[in-house]
Amino acid sequence: MTQDEGTSSKPEAKWRSWRKRRRTVLITGIAGRMGQALARLLHRKVKVIGLDRRPCDALPKDVECYQLDVRRRKAEDVFRRHTIDALIHLNIMYNPRRSAREHQEFNFLGTRKTLDLCHAHGVGKVVMLSSANVYGAAPTNDQFLTEEAPLMGGADAGTNWVRHLIAIDMYCSSFFWRHPEIETVILRPVHILGEVGSVASNYLRLPYSPTVLGYDPMVQVVHRDDVLSAIELALKPGIRGVYNLAGPGAVPLSRLLQLAGKRTVPVPEPLLRGLQGVLWRTKHAFPTQQIDHIKYVCMVDDSRARTHMRYAPRHDLEATLTAATQL
């Protein structure tokens, strides 16, 4: 791919033919808000194919979309029909109202099947969107966790939701080592804000923001579009490995909520944990397992992404917060 133009005519012709053919990118989980936005970002630059078990309507016309579950045999037809250059794996369900078994089956088996297909059909690049939540919020965390930090997000009871993600993250890491010919990229962004259904965005959309009385951790947030731009950067040849993605800067949670114009309701922790169950059933709160994230620090050091990928978040804190509350 990196041939000089001055060499013999034959490689040059090959290079040309490669240039002529538009690169094809397969996005799994394209019907989600993240997937839709990514398709809109990429569809003029590369050929975008989508795969999702949900109906995908609101996509650009030139995006070819297959509505089927990746675990079914038919999914292989997508790989047979197209020469896929890169896969962007967004097909990770997180819906705390669904059962843990369903999560595990859909997320883990789906990822496994997808990666097997990538290997079988010679896909050269796999980009997987994980989350900084895999490190977990804990009182003993370093202020900024590097990519080498242990994935302790599932250490506490009741953190099933992140255990799936850790399993997938680690499966992708092992895929990275098993198949050195495939460039595998794992992105671990901090809390994504914007037109997405992330827990952090939902938290900011609550009419009142519950906080834990007496705790005010430093937090990082990142704009959805900055994550999308990082995914685009990860598609470049030569980029491989695990990258943390942080946003504009770290601020205390109280300051963040103040900037977002939220009224905070500090609740003593036992009361908050007790009330959560009730509020959750009446759809007025965020899941209990996330309380650690408004108590303890879980921030990442993204200097590797900034130097290797030239990742640079364009949105400042205010823009990021506005994006979260607009929806």
Partner 1 sequence: MDTHDPDRPRGRALLNKLLRDRGELESDWTAAMRAFSQMIVEENLLDDELTERLRQLQEVQEIDGFDPFGFEPEFLKWVLPVGAWVYRKYFRVEAFGLEKLPEGSVLLIANHSGQVPIDGMMIVSSCLLDADPPRMVRSMIERWVPTLPFVSWFFARCGQILGTRENFRLLNSRGATILVFPEGVRGINKTYDKAYQLQRFGLGFMRLALENNLPIVPVAVIGAEEQAPAFFNAGRIARLIGAPAFPITPTFPLLGPLGALPLPVRYRIYYGDPMTFSGDPDDEDRVISEKVDEVRDALQGLIHHGLEQRKTFWDIFT
- By CB under 8 A, is residue 213 in contact with partner 1? yes
DSSP state for residue 292 in the 8-state scheme? G
Site string for partner 1, 158-197 (x = CB under 8 A): ----------------------------------------
Q: Which CB, 141 or 160, lies closer to partner 1?
A: 141
Minimum CB separation of residue 144 from partner 1 in Å reads: 7
Q: Give whichever of 158 and 268 is closer to partner 1, judged by the CB atom.
A: 268
What's the min distance (Å) between Cβ of 254 and partner 1? 5
Q: For partner 1, which stretch binds (CB under 8 A), given 3-11, 77-85, 209-217, 281-289?
A: 209-217
Which of 214, 238, 282, 283 touches partner 1 by CB under 8 A?
A: 214
Q: Which is nearer to partner 1, 158 or 252 (CB)?
A: 252
Instruction: By CB under 8 A, tell whether 142 contacts partner 1.
Output: yes
Options 11, 60, 139, 150; binder of partner 1; rule CB under 8 A:
139
CB of 166 to partner 1, least distance (A): 21
Taking CB under 8 A as the criterion, the residue among 94, 108, 144, 280 binding partner 1 is 144
CB of 170 to partner 1, least distance (A): 22
What is the Cα–Cα distance from 241 to 173, expressed in whole angstroms? 8
Given a contact cutoff of 8 angstroms between Cβ atoms, the answer to whether 237 and 183 are in contact is yes
| Contact set for partner 1, span 31-60 (CB under 8 A) | none
Q: Residue 87 gets which letter from DSSP?
A: E
Structure tokens at 81: 């029909």
CA distances from 160 to 14, 99, 106, 115, 244 (A): 49, 10, 14, 23, 22
| Min CB(75)–partner 1 separation in Å | 42
* 297-316 positions binding partner 1, by CB under 8 A: 297
Stretch that binds partner 1, among 10-18, 121-129, 216-224, 304-312 (CB under 8 A): 216-224
- Judged by CB under 8 A, the chain residues 220 through 279 that form the site for partner 1 are 250-252, 254-255, 258, 261, 263-264, 266, 269
Q: How far apart are CA 120 and CA 248, in angstroms?
A: 39
Nearer to partner 1, 142 or 318 (CB): 142
Classify strands 251-252 and 191-193 as parallel, antiparallel or unpaired.
Answer: unpaired
Residue spans of alpha helices (H) in the chain: 9-20, 33-42, 75-81, 100-103, 110-120, 160-178, 199-205, 224-234, 253-259, 269-281, 303-308, 317-326
What contacts 93, CB < 8 A, 6 or more positions away?
A: 102, 103, 106, 107
State the minimum distance, in angstroms, from the CB of residue 101 to partner 1: 33
Half-sphere exposure for 102 (CA within 13 Å, toward CB)? 7
Q: Pull the structure tokens for residue 11.
A: 């490689």
DSSP 135-201: G---TT--SSB-TTS---TT-STT-HHHHHHHHHHHHHHHHHHH-TTSEEEEEEESEEESSS--HHH
- For the chain, the straight-line distance linking the first and the last C-alpha, in angstroms and rounded, comes to 42
The only residue of 46, 93, 206, 218 in contact with partner 1, by rule CB under 8 A: 218
CB of 9 to partner 1, least distance (A): 53
User: Where does this chain bind partner 1 (CB under 8 A)?
Assistant: 139-144, 146, 212-218, 250-252, 254-255, 258, 261, 263-264, 266, 269, 296-297
